[in-house]
Amino acid sequence: VQLQASGGGLVQVGGSLRLSCAASGRTWGSYAWFRQAPGKVREFVASISWSSRNTYYTDSLKGRFTISRDNAKNTVYLQMNSLKPEDTAVYYCAASSDPLPGAMGYDWWGQGTQVTVSS
């Protein structure tokens, strides 16, 4: 599986961004978004099953971030609303052959896209 993340950029506090992750190759399975802020470890953001029936979020981001996917386009999205300076990070998409989404066990990773929230 090859993953290409895009959609990052500079946004003001309270703004929104939608990240995209285009997948190619073997695309079946669960997908997730992670992020890594400067000087911090990579953390789980959200994941979604192949059918989109199951989603899983880190508790602190529920209600502001929404993960979705379009299997016809082999693309996974992360809609981010009400952005805060602490959301500044490199965002990575990841894929797993596991049909159920979770916070770990991802085998394939994209290159990351930078999100910067300015105050």
46-70 pLDDT, tens per residue? 999 988 899 999 999 999 999 999 9
pLDDT digits (tens, 9 = 90+) for 89-98: 999 999 999 8
Residue 100's pLDDT band, with cuts at 50, 70 and 90, is confident
**Would you place residue 40 in the very low, low, confident or very high pLDDT band (cuts 50, 70, 90)?**
very high
- Residue (of 94, 79, 95) closest to 19 by Cα position: 79
List, for residues 74-86, the tens digit of each pLDDT value.
999 999 999 999 9
Q: Do 49 and 99 touch, CB atoms closer than 8 A?
A: yes
Residue 87 pLDDT exceeds 90:
yes
